[in-house]
Structure formats: structure tokens, C-alpha cells
Amino acid sequence: MSTSALPDGWKREEVKRTNGLTIKTDVIYVSPEGQRIKSKAELAKYLGQTIDLSSFDYRSGKINPLLLRKSKRSYGVHDHRALKHDPTTINPVRQTNPFFKHPVTIVRTNTSNSKVLNLQHIKEIRRKHNLSFNEPKSDNNNERPFQMFWPRRLEGQRASNHALERLDDFQLPPNIRTFNSTLANNEDIFRTITANLYNDQRAIRGQERKIINRIRREMDEEDVMRNLLAFINPHQPLSHTITITDQDIIQQEEVVRKYRRKLRDAINR
């Protein structure tokens, strides 16, 4: 007999089984070319992309909407599943050779009358002022170690256009200023902010100058500046405390609207 769910020329046959204890029937579909199909998978392979068989009931030869609903439940997206971390968002780390292949030479630049760094004194000051920087402790002890000041590997690179002409340097907003000019310039701050955005989930706040000012009152100012890296937060960029005002949000929204208008005009052309 013919079936309305398939194109014209297809026939449906029911053949009784001759062997076995139960008397059941096998459903076979015959194509206009005489090809005999014995399963739904074989039928889908034969028809290809011409007909969607998601809601097709193979045994009855009719369309069953319940099968389509079941298929959507089986292959739908489960919102309760946690999203996986996308490793493609991690900025590249350029490294030519392993560390153990690079020769290391010790160059002593201190003189005999130079002041010795008192690590114990620095530890006591940090403990006294509770310089843990309120960073959450990770429960995962398998955190991958990284080299100190690794963002400097990309130092000296400049953006250029298609004609290999160097573009202007990136200018930071007025509310993002360098924490100390001897430690970092605008390019270093931009590089550390980019690294924090891609590789860290902590909020970007910048360095807190009030901590340095509080330590200066108890230590010699020269010692503080000489050992400044011991009192800064390594998880934050080398900038002053970053504050976002309502005016900054309004300006950023205007920039987004500007580029949306440009995109709309480009699509409508």
C-alpha cells in the first residue's frame, strides 16, 4: 500500500515472519526504483536531506508529532550544565626554548656599603598590615605556576595597518594612571590589565596607595621605594585605584551605540 508521509511512488509492505515463536510482522518500504528498505536508519540514508524523518513513525507509516517533541528533548541544550572554560580566550605566551637550555649568569651590582635587604622585616610589615589583599584562596592546589612579569614577553610589539605603518600608541582613560613611573608606563599598565581580563576572574581594582602611605610611616621611605614590589598586589595591574563613575558608563554606552549605527549602515548598503 502507498503511504502519504513519503513521496509519490513509495509503497509500504507488511511481511509476516516465518521463523520464531512469536508471530510478528516486518515493515518494508519499496522505493519507486524497486529498492527495499528494512529500517528507518536505512530509509534516512537513502533519502538523504530531501525529507526530514524526525516525526516519521516507521512502523505505522504516519507522522507522529510526539516523536518530534521527544527528539528535541533528547538533543536540546541543557541550561543546568556548567559552561566549560574556553581556552581560546587565553592570550598567547611566547616561549622559544625551555628554561633549562638558557644559560644563567649571575651579575653582582651591589657594593660593599649597600644596604642589605631585610626579608624578615618585610614579612613582619606585611603580616602586621594584613597585606593578603583580600584575595580568595583557591581550593585547587594544582594551579599552574607562571614566571614573574611574564607579560613583558610581549613588550615592544606594536600594531600596524595593512601597509605596515605603525599605528598610534594606545591611550588609557584619565582615571587609569600609573602607580609608579619607575615600575610601569602606560603600555605596561595596558598589558597587565589585558592579562587580568583574559586570565583572571578577580575584579580589577588597581593598587591601593593608602597601603604604601601607611607603611611609609613605620619604615624608612627609601626602604619602601627600594622594596616596593614586596608591598604591591601581584594580582592587580600597576595602576592607581580604578574608580568607574556614571559619566564613564554613559560615554561607553555612547561608543557602543556609535558602532552599532556603523554596523547597521554597513549591512543596509
Rounded Cα gap, residues 224 and 44, in angstroms: 75
Q: Which pLDDT tens digit goes with each residue over 203-223?
A: 888 887 777 777 767 666 666
Where are the alpha helices (H) located in the chain, listed in sequence order? Answer: 40-47, 65-75, 119-128, 186-199, 209-216, 221-226, 246-268
Cα 179 to Cα 238: distance, rounded to the nearest angstrom: 5
DSSP state for residue 143 in the 8-state scheme: P
State mean pLDDT over 152-161. Answer: 70
Domain locations along the chain: 11-69, 119-128+169-246
Structure confidence by residue, pLDDT tens digits, 63-107: 877 776 665 555 444 444 444 555 445 555 555 555 556 666 767
Residue at 180: amino acid letter: N
Burial pattern 7-44, b for ≥16 Cβ within 10 A else e, equals eeebbbeeeeeeeeeeeeeebebebeeeeebeeeeebb
219-to-21, 213, 214 alpha-carbon distances in Å: 96, 10, 9
pLDDT at 250: 92
Say which CATH class 11-69 falls into: alpha beta
Which pLDDT score is estimated for 29? 85
How many other β-carbons are positioned within 10 Å of the β-carbon of residue 181? 8
What DSSP line would sit under 184-239, residue for residue?
--HHHHHHHHHHHHHH--S------HHHHHHHHTTS-HHHHHHTGGGSS-TTS-SB
Read off the DSSP letter of residue 50.
S
Confidence of residue 25 (pLDDT cuts 50, 70, 90): confident
The whole-number pLDDT of residue 176 equals: 84
